[in-house]
Structure 1
Amino acid sequence: MSRKDKKRKFKQKLTDKYRLVILNEDTFQERFSLKLSRLNVFVLGGLFSILLIVLTTLLIAFTSLREYIPGYSSTSLKKKATRLTYEADSLKSRLEVLEAYTSALKPVLTGEIKPEKIDSIVNINDNGLDLDESKLLATKKDSLFREQIESKDRFPLSDVNEDRAKNVFFAPLTGIISQSYDVKSKHYAVDIVSKKGTPVKAIADGTVIISEWTAATGYVIMIQHSNEFLSVYKHNGTLLKQQGEFVKSGEVIANVGSTGELTTGPHLHFELWNDGYSVNPTNYISFE
């Protein structure tokens, strides 16, 4: 048999029709019949297999059945892992902020004394410490001056010097104060309402000691000034200065936003600290 005859015979086998008949066993009555060829069977079988694979893939990809397949993780576990990752990042940022804040206030809290002040009254020699008691004795003029200072408040503001004191610092933002400084409610700041994106300015020359983001207060920037003053700006939209940079008085350091969990809208939460103590910013700055 030639090769051509073999091909013709194979093609004939694929195209020959076969009849499938279903009969009643008792009456031999024909119930159902179907004419098919081998080629039809192969085509229908292939289409059915492809359809079955597609349906199985869709069930695995878009239903919860994939959770029962090894290698696929649960959706709830993914959500929980993502939430824990965000919380861990937030705690890490808050820890860095607290460490930098504590490091900046450590000299004030520990009451460190500058060496030059000690050298003026103490002489170190071979016999040990030689204290010059004459320099410790206060004169009458010194006593009167001390009594005058101690008779005043910690941060006195007389009627004559009130406007002058308020001109000591540059206003970080002008606007309406929505919440004032209140020690009883532990609100050691003033909240100034303004439009989102309004520039926030440094109140005086100083060095940025913190420029970070926290979950509670959003974008926060802190500046260490001279005379032991520290200014804090919270809930900013964006920060324009980084930690360690030196800023000038009135220089734009951020802009107004509404970041953090404790915010109620676009505003600036401004704190002012002196020598480790919180002070009322309105005693030093005019926000109008």
Structure 2
Amino acid sequence: MATKTKKRKIARKLLHKYRLVVLNEDTFEERFAIKLTRLNVFIIGSLCTILLITGTIFLIAFTSLREFIPGYSSTALKKKATELHYKTDSLQRVLDLNEQYYASIKRVLTGDVSDVEFNRDSIVDASSLDPSELNLSPSKEDSLLRDVVDKEDKYNVFESNLSNTNFVLFPPVNGTISEPFDLKVKHYAVDIVVPKDTPVKSTADGTVIFSEWTAQTGYVIIVEHSGELISVYKHNATLTKQQGDLVKAGEVIAMAGNTGELSTGPHLHFELWNRGYPVNPTNFIEF
């Protein structure tokens, strides 16, 4: 009974009606009045609080106001950060490639390469074969391939292939060889004695990839040619070309001299490199 009585009292308090009146202070005229109960006030207050919280959440979550809250970042900043990340990654790759390229050039300048032994006997044997003893008659597949290639060349307006059979190296200078090419002592060049300020010419068409002063070899210029061929010219008095210049075969790129700690007199230190390996220049050039 006591519990029921207590519940009834609570229900009466919640449902007991009150009147909220707004009066004019001077005339005591009733301007506004509303009937309320404690239950109505609690329900209305709860609904207003829920609506206020929900509206605040939506306002922050779906508008730019969230950028002012610590821990949130704007979409523009995320986009810029992503773009910077990709640019940094691309720049890092370019730097890695440049470092590898400069490292290979440094090995060429310092002569830090492995020796390559060529079997000259096999070359001599191949050149001494009698063509009449060989079976040079084309096979059926070869004949069909020749017909296809002939038709492609006949109706193709543009050249699809360039032959390197006419690739000729131009002598950079003409003089006496004072020190020949020798792999055993790691002398990957020929030293050609010439008067000072003798024009040094490019051995073939190419691009200047290095044109600087070095303490040991003086003024050095390196030209990259087609077919992965690189020519090196050291101990020059002056350089007439800069890095990035395009040169033709026989074009003057430097003046011979006696610069650098390793120089013993006016001469040209000339090197040839093919695919990273030293090549004897006298095999291809008549000095």
**TM-score, scaled relative to structure 1:** 0.45
Which protein shows a greater Rg? 2
